[in-house]
Structure 1
Amino acid sequence: MEPNDPVARVLIVDDDPAVHDSYRMSFAPADDAAQLADLAAELFDDVTPGDTPPLAMTFDHVHQGNEAVAAVERAVRDDRRFAVAFIDVRMPPGIDGRETARRIRAIDPDVQIVIVTGYSDFSPAQIARVAGPPDRLFYIAKPFTAEEVVQTATALSHRWLADRELARTRAALATKIEELEDQARELAANESKAIRLANRDPLTGAPNRLAFLRNLSEQARRPGAFAMAMIDLDRFKLINDTLGHLVGDELIRTICAILIDRTGDHGFVARLGGDEFGVLLHVDTADAAVMRCERLVRACSADLQVFGHPIHGAASIGVVMVAGDTGRDPVDVMRRADLALNEAKRSGRGVVRLFDDSMDESIRFRRRVEEGLTQAIAKQELALLYQPIVAQGTLDIVGFEGLLRWNSPDHGAIGPATFVPIAEESNLIHDLGDWVLDSALAMLADWPSQYVSVNFSPRQFRRQNFVGHLVEKVQRAGIAPDRLQIEITETAIFDDAERAADTLYRLRQMGFRIALDDFGTGYSSLYNIRKFALDCLKIDRSFIDGMGRERESAAIVHSIIHLARALRLEVVAEGVETEQQVQALRLAGCSHLQGYFLSRPVDGAAATDMARSGAWPGQARISAEPGRA
């Protein structure tokens, strides 16, 4: 027999030794064992005739009921249970078969019991009541035949083995079900945690953009008006860059706590990302919404201590009123609040702006401008004008600044202050910048020695391989790099000072001229001119315009000129419009002048004539010596 073949233990309980001998003879090996198995299959549906697995049976013989009970107890304890128990009904002087069956059934509920009797004091129903269930209780009458006993033992053993296998399968299935239920509970807990995490900002613990959109959607479907505000911290990037991200993160947590505290139960606060927050306010009117938002601005505009650093908080807010139960798209509501926030930023920061339709119209106009700008180059709608830059001592034209103009057939003449920021927000700025650069470099071939000064936006300056791009441009044009002056603002270089310093150094190494435009309006001018490789400072026109009216403007101009001279830098005064300004700047030692008083911007042909002749329209009005009219 193979080790894995099934084995069934059979217990025979009878007080007559002759009966035990009959059992032994019945279970002696016979040639018709397969036939007996098939007969068992016909009697019980558990097995299929002809497919009955080989079955080995072992037999334990006892003569009294108490011995049988003890044997079953040992079998259960040792996990060597009996499959079938043949029990005689009358076994004097001990307990009878009915009581024996009852006790055995109490010890092992799964054993198959066969009551063997010629005469019984108990009916089958009485025995079944104590030794049931009926499907595990069977009867054989004495005297029995060998075939009858063998068939019953074989069939019931197969059934017992099948029940055991089924029980194991059910136990394994129950364990698996329990594991699956545990996994389901764990998944439910994880799902709940994931939903909670998916709706929470990890930095502040406040609701995030996803939670805000869901709350906004629900609010928009309810009756009654409410307001949605978008809040942005003012000059947060400056704080983040100068004091570090840890301070920046702590400032965001501090401001978030202030907003939640001041909004209270009458609103909903979420961090939308970066230094931007969204707030839902339960108000009925626009005036009430603006009033609530102004209180939030004042709450944020506080002197804070963040990791030992004194910081003055500041925030701008854009707010939009929403009529409830209108089904308005929450994304559109946020877009309108963002438009109002942009207007607040443009208005000087630290203010509240309520959305109105004119803001939306401005966006539509910007889109139309952007669409028109994409065709402006191909349709030759762009023009590059040139304004001369004059040396104050000799009054010679040393260079020209290239100024871009756009004559749109749909919108008329559009100034660069309008379309350049729009181009800056898209990749159009690179196409425009390349067109300007190519046009300006083409003019240099017709000029004797003057340079051309070209403005580069922050996005152009951060362009990948900016230096290599410029080198390729001047080489293709056959122009020396020192005839191209690159004008940038402090904003362009302040975003990433280390990278900007490296870029400017490499530009100077290649021979390009560098001018810092709008000098005096940035955050840290003295720091910038000391750190970066520069050739020229261009004084912002606002200071030149205020020289005759404000002592502060005149003092700033004089300070810039003296500082530049100490650092051996050129100084160009922009926006020179009067003779008095010319004389004052020359006396102050300003090295170069530019403005309408000298010449308005002219087209390429006129600029070439000026460059070749050395004469410019306002030259006759200025004495060659400073101080003389």
Structure 2
Amino acid sequence: MHDSYRHCLSPNAHGEAALRAMADELFGTAAPVADAPHFELVHAHQGQEAVDLVAAAGENRFAVAFVDICMPPGIDGRETARRIRAIDPDINLVVVTGFSDYAPIEIGRVAGPVDKLSYIAKPFEVEEVVQTATALARRWQVDRELAAVRAQLAEKVELLEEQTRELAVNEMKALHLANHDPLTDAPNRLAFIRSLSGWVRADECFAMVMLDLDRFKLVNDTLGHLAGDEMLRSICDILSAQVPEGGMVARLGGDEFALLFPTPGVEAAVMEAERMIHACAANFRIFGHTLQGSASAGLVVIEPGADADPTDVMRRADLALNDAKKNARGGVRLFDERMDESVRFRRLIESGLSRAIEQGELRLVYQPIVSHDTLEVVAFEALMRWDSGEYGTISPAMFIPIAEESNLIHELGDWVLGEALKTLEHWPGQYVSVNFSPRQFRRPNFVGHIVERVDRAGIAPSRLQIEITETAIFDDAERAAETLYRLRQMGFRIALDDFGTGYSSLYNIRKFALDCLKIDRSFIDSMGRERESAAIVHSIIHLGRALGLEVVAEGVETEAQVQSLRIAGCSHLQGFHLARPLEADRTFEIAEAGHVATSAVIADAPRGSGTHG
């Protein structure tokens, strides 16, 4: 038997002449002949000897084992195959038999799987053995290569899953930091505004209280900020325990707190507010000192169906608080319309804004966006300015919210887009970034309107970046996702503005077609003073890089911020330290030069923040 295997599997036994003759007979004289295979043979005369050889193979594992059912005294072929299979699950077994006491199914039960088990009947032909050995050896090699590839893929999948878990953890930490006050762990201003937005849309009467500690500065000045921090934590604990069921307490900053709670009416709301003020008027034992607490509060009650605006609710509560601080410290003042002298001015602003375009009072300025390493100018953000002939220069933070509440925002938005596209024609390659408010983004046929304006201007879509805030896409996420996808398909760039201050999540970022995240200036401004803000900035940068997005840091005003952001890996920078907003004609020179001076001077120009600011 062993001589037969030597004959079959030695190179001379199936030389080129023999294979050529066989190929001619089977396929015709033109059939090609592959090189004769070569095998390294190891012979075992007994079953246990074969088992020992397989066990001792180490890295030089066997590809194929031909096992005769009938062998010299010792274990038979079936038992030999079982033991070999137990040692090496990948080896291909070929059972060679003329007759056997075992049916193939019995052998397969102990020596399977069936795809690694073959049979050859005696007497066998040379070609049969050669073909079987060649096919199984090649398959064994392919299986090993596939196993190696699968192992590499499994490692990569595990690494990606680990990175995903790490990103999810970082996201949760970043979201918590972004929405909670680090001192008291109460919801912060951003979380409060988001919650207030939900309350004003609900059909339920509720109250908002703006609360401020009396003479708190004296605590910090006499006992130090650590004592002040301890007192703030104590006040927050009292308010959290006293707020009516279903309400919330938030720290807005400093010694200012805000509360929301359901109420059946004005009288009940006043009683609840006075009860909480009374609870704050307690004696606090802090660092061995006894302090008498005192707080003042402004109260506003919103009736069902009042169609209130969150910003206006906070403004009214703040007006009431200011009145309490002036006239009745330690008490509660209910908002009165007579307190709202700014309403008249607001109406005047709205009427003046409607005439601003035709009177030429509006203009655009452009702030460069630069790469973090070379300071190359890659884009300009368009920012609106209003120089009123009647009221002087009016901040965008004042007139944009007023325009947003009326249809004026569409007229202003169309003017901004048209002016920005005309200026863009004079830049060699930079793109322009234009802010779009939530109301503009929800405009019917928003995509068609943008495409029509860009086509008319003869500008490539890739040179217009559409900046939106998370608020613009949160109310109707499905529609927003479809709108952004269509814009991206047409070549427009999409930037998520003020990132970190809204409803951000990994799900949103993955769902919406984005090119860029813009870190809100509030985080950049405080990253040098607050460890939490620095952690948020680093998390956003790492998240953006992991998702292949550009990250623009807004409000860069110091060299230290530039260096910190460079180290963190932020891809682009924008702020007064690099360049203040420029008039349109000044941008031509900067765009041609392609860079900004590193020694830029911070000007006294109004800061650009908000929808078009």
Report the TM-score, using the length of structure 2 for normalisation. 0.50
* Secondary structure of 1:201's aligned partner: coil
Larger radius of gyration: 1
Match of 1:73 in 2: 55
Q: Which amino acid aligns with 1:137?
A: L
| 1:259-338 matches, cutoff 5 A | 259-263=239-243, 265=245, 267-324=247-304, 328-338=308-318
Q: Does 1:258 align with 2:223?
A: no
**What's the counterpart of residue 27 of structure 1?**
9
% same residue: 56
Q: Is residue 228–residue 320 contact of structure 1 (8 Å, CA) maintained in 2?
A: yes
Quick one: which amino acid aligns to residue 351 of structure 1? G
Q: Which residue matches 1:363? A: 342
Q: Quote the offset at 1:276 in angstroms.
A: 0.9
Supply the AA of the counterpart residue of 2:174.
Answer: A
Q: CA RMSD in A?
A: 4.0
Change (3 A) 1:31 1:244: farther
C-alpha contact 1:36 1:151 (8 A) present in aligned 2:
no
The correspondence for 1:229, drawn from 206, 209, 213, is 209
CA distance in 2, matches of 1:241, 1:35: 105
String of CA shifts for 1:448-480, please: whole Å, max 9, x gaps. Answer: xxxxxxxxxxxxxxxxxxxxxxxxxxxxxxxxx
**Is 1:178 matched up with 2:158?**
yes
Distance 1:37 1:244, change over 3 A: farther
> Hey, what does 2:325 align to over in structure 1?
345
* Residue in structure 1 matching 2:96, options 116, 127, 147: 116
Q: Where in structure 1 are there 5+ consecutive unaligned residues? A: 1-18, 40-48, 374-409, 412-421, 427-629
Q: Which residues in structure 2 correspond to 1:113-192 (within 5 Å)?
A: 113-192=93-172
Contact 2:11 2:36 in 1 (8 A): no
- In structure 2, relative to structure 1, the CA distance for the partners of 1:184 and 1:368 (3 Å cut) is closer
Q: Deviations over 1:501-532 (max 9, x none)?
A: xxxxxxxxxxxxxxxxxxxxxxxxxxxxxxxx
Q: Per-residue deviation at 1:265?
A: 3.7
Q: 1:36 to 1:212 in 2, by over 3 A?
A: farther
Deviations 1:292-318 (A, max 9, x none): 112222222344343345543322211
Contact 1:83–1:160 (Cα < 8 Å) also in 2: yes
Residues 326 and 264 (structure 1), Cα distance of their counterparts in 2 relative to 1, 3 Å cut: closer
- Per the TM alignment, residue 249 of structure 1 is displaced from its structure 2 partner at its CA by 2.0
Structure 1 residues 64-94: Cα deviation after superposition (integer angstroms, max 9, x where no partner): 222222322333xx34322100111211433
- Provide Cα deviations, 1:134-169, integer angstroms capped at 9, x if missing partner: 221122233334343233222211111111121222
Q: Distance in 2 between matches of 1:343 and 1:53?
A: 99
Q: How big is each residue's C-alpha offset from its partner over 1:566-602, in whole Å with a ceiling of 9 and x where there is no partner? A: xxxxxxxxxxxxxxxxxxxxxxxxxxxxxxxxxxxxx
Q: Which amino acid aligns with 2:144?
A: R
Aligned counterpart, 1:506: none
Secondary structure of residue in 2 paired with 1:339: helix
| Matched position secondary structure for 1:60 | coil
Alpha-carbon distance in 1 for matches of 2:60, 2:78: 24
Question: Which of the residues 173, 177, 199 maps onto 1:197?
Answer: 177
- What pairs with 1:364-513 in structure 2 (closer than 5 Å)? 364-367=343-346
**In the TM superposition, what are the counterparts of 1:597-616 in structure 2 within 5 Å?**
none
**Conservation of the 8 A alpha-carbon contact between 1:128 and 1:137:** yes
Q: Deviations over 1:401-448 (max 9, x none)?
A: xxxxxxxxx99xxxxxxxxxx99x99xxxxxxxxxxxxxxxxxxxxxx
Per-residue displacement from partner, 1:8-59 (whole Å, max 9, x unpaired)?
xxxxxxxxxxx212222333335977999999xxxxxxxxx99999986432
Q: Distance in 2 between matches of 1:357 and 1:342?
A: 14
Q: 1:37 to 1:125 in 2, by over 3 A?
A: farther
- Which amino acid is the alignment partner of residue 25 of structure 1? H
Unaligned runs of 5+ in 2: 22-30, 353-389, 399-613
Figure out how many residues of one structure are paired with residues of the other and give that number.
351
Q: For the structure 1 residues 239 and 372, does the alpha-carbon distance in structure 2 shift closer, same or farther, using more than 3 Å as the test?
A: farther
**Contact 1:36 1:150 (8 Å CA) reproduced:** no
For the residues of structure 1 that align with 2:319 and 2:35, how far apart are their CA atoms? 82
Report the alpha carbon displacement of residue 61 of structure 1 after superposing the two structures with TM: 0.7
CA contact (8 A) 1:65 1:97 kept: yes
Q: Secondary structure at the match of 1:105?
A: helix
1:208 aligns with: 188
The TM-score with structure 1 as length reference comes to 0.49
Between the aligned partners of 1:38 and 1:321, the Cα distance in structure 2 is: 99
* Aligned pair partner of 1:61 in 32, 43, 51: 43
What is the CA-CA distance between 1:271 and the residue it aligns to?
0.6
- Does the CA contact (< 8 Å) of 1:269 and 1:278 recur in 2? yes
Offset of residue 205 of structure 1: 1.7
Letter aligned with residue 91 of structure 1: M
Change (3 A) 1:70 1:247: same
| Corresponding residue SS for 1:205 | coil
1:83 is the counterpart of 2:67:
no
CA-CA distance at 1:369 after TM superposition: 8.5
CA offset at residue 269 of structure 1? 1.0
Distance 1:51 1:327 in 2: 87
